[in-house]
């Protein structure tokens, strides 16, 4: 009995102490709330912190931070080469991505959906990363691959593939590879239904084949749009083509081969020989809209390249 009474008294004393502490804390909080001077001072400090401008981080394309390692990169940094068309016409390999970032600051990038997430009966959604696995004694080792496309929407486009054990390095590799694989394409109006001589489509029908996948690009009149597979439409959009028809054969389920075949068809546009009279008749443009595929234009490029090399 005595022990129980002692325990009750101890509990009552601790409860009183706790109530007193809570009351003191409430009084302190009320005093702080009722002091407008402290609140105004804190508001001024916060406002001053918001007004401070944080310096933006320097981009990797900054010329001051870029130290070129190739002769082409040194010429670009020194200002001797100011147009990508000169490099592409001369056939010089682009080994540094900073060259493209410097000469084409408005370059746009996009990732293509070549993979598929897991789902019942193959019903997973399309995604950017294609995942594969390797069976080992330690377990399953995953590998990711991505495919990127870059372009200025004005006659210059490139695609690239990147593989890595993680997703972010694979994406960076694909973008770097795409910038190094730039090509110029020919655009025009090869459709007999339109004949507007504007570079909204391609000048003539062309085919591209990779593996068992074959694609045929056909000129279309204005307003038709891109009647082609969705991922190939991304490539044509960044290339500057607005209207086109297409026809595919073979195993088109392989997105990688289909995109590669489309890119190969665009490459063949510039490799096909044309007559001088077809340039005006079909409104052919190579690269930018401001520059036409003419003999005089090609001679000016050759003279510029020779002067830069000297």
pLDDT at 48: 43
Supply the pLDDT for residue 248. Answer: 95
CA 116 and chain centroid, separation: 19
Structural domain count, the chain: 1
Residues 6 or more apart from 121 whose CB is under 8 A from it?
none
Instruction: Evaluate whether residue 49 is within a structural domain.
Output: no
Does residue 51 lie in a domain region?
Answer: no
Helical H runs in the chain? 2-33, 36-51, 71-78, 84-90, 97-103, 167-180, 230-239, 255-271, 276-282, 295-309
Type and span of the H or E element at 159: strand 156-164
Evaluate whether residue 103 is within a structural domain.
Answer: no
> What are the distances in angstroms from CA 142 to CA 131, 132, 136, 148?
7, 6, 11, 20
Res 196: pLDDT: 87
Look up the domain containing 257 and give its range: 186-291
CA distance 227 to 208: 16
- 41: in domain: no
Over its length of 310 residues, how does the chain's per-residue pLDDT go in tens digits? 555 656 666 566 555 545 565 456 556 545 544 454 444 544 343 344 334 333 333 344 455 688 999 999 999 998 888 889 889 988 899 999 999 999 999 899 999 999 888 777 667 788 899 989 999 998 999 999 999 999 999 999 999 999 999 999 999 999 999 999 999 999 999 888 888 888 999 999 999 999 999 999 999 999 999 999 999 999 999 999 999 999 999 998 889 999 999 999 999 998 998 888 888 888 888 877 654 444 444 455 446 555 655 5
Q: What is residue 121's predicted lDDT score, i.e. its pLDDT?
A: 67
- Domain assignment present for residue 224? The answer is yes
What's the pLDDT at 274? 87
Contact 285, 270 (CB under 8 A): no
Is 233:226 a contact under the CB 8 Å cutoff?
A: yes
Place of tokens 């990363």: 129
With respect to residue 206, please indicate whether it lies within any of the assigned structural domains. yes
Distance CA 18, CA 20 (A): 5
- The span from the first CA to the last CA of the chain, in angstroms, equals 110
Does residue 84 contact residue 182 with C-beta atoms inside 8 Å? Answer: yes
Neighbours of 141 (CB within 10 A): 11
- DSSP lists the bridge partners of residue 244 as 219, 226
**pLDDT at residue number 59:** 40
Whether 64 is covered by a domain: the verdict is no
Residue 202 lies in a domain: yes
Distance CA 266, CA 184 (A): 9
Check: CB of residue 259 under 8 Å from CB of residue 161. no
pTM: 0.71
CA atoms within 13 A on the CB side of 51: 6
**CATH value at residue 237:** 3.30.230.10
Task: In whole angstroms, give the CA distance from residue 151 to residue 84.
Answer: 12
- pLDDT value, residue 304: 54
Q: Are 151 and 239 in contact (CB under 8 A)?
A: yes
């Amino acid at each position: 009995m005595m022990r129980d009474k002692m325990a009750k008294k101890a509990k009552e004393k601790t409860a009183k102490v706790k109530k007193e502490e809570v009351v003191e804390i409430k009084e302190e909080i009320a005093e702080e709330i009722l002091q407008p001077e402290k609140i105004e001072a804190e508001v001024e400090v916060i406002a001053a912190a918001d007004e401070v401008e944080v310096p933006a981080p320097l981009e990797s394309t900054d010329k001051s931070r870029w130290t070129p390692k190739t002769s082409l990169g040194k010429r670009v940094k020194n200002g001797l080469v100011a147009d990508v068309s000169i490099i592409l016409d001369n056939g010089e390999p682009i080994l540094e991505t900073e060259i493209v970032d410097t000469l084409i600051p408005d370059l746009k990038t996009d990732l293509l959906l070549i993979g598929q997430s897991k789902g019942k009966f193959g019903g997973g959604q399309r995604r950017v990363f294609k995942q594969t696995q390797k069976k080992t004694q330690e377990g399953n080792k995953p590998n990711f691959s991505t495919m990127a496309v870059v372009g200025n929407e004005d006659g210059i486009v490139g695609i690239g593939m990147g593989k890595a054990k993680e997703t972010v390095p694979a994406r960076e590799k694909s973008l770097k590879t795409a910038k190094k694989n730039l090509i110029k394409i020919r655009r025009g109006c090869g459709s007999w239904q339109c004949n507007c001589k504007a570079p909204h489509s391609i000048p003539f029908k062309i085919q591209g084949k990779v593996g068992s996948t074959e694609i045929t690009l056909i000129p279309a009149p204005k307003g038709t749009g891109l009647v082609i597979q969705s991922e190939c439409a991304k490539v044509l959009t960044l290339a500057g083509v607005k209207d086109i028809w297409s026809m595919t054969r073979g195993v088109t389920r392989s997105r990688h081969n289909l995109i590669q075949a489309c890119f190969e068809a665009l490459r063949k546009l510039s490799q096909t020989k044309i007559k001088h009279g077809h340039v005006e008749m079909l409104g052919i443009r190579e690269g930018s809209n401001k520059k036409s595929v003419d003999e005089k234009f090609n001679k000016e490029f050759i003279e510029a390249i020779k002067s830069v090399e000297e």
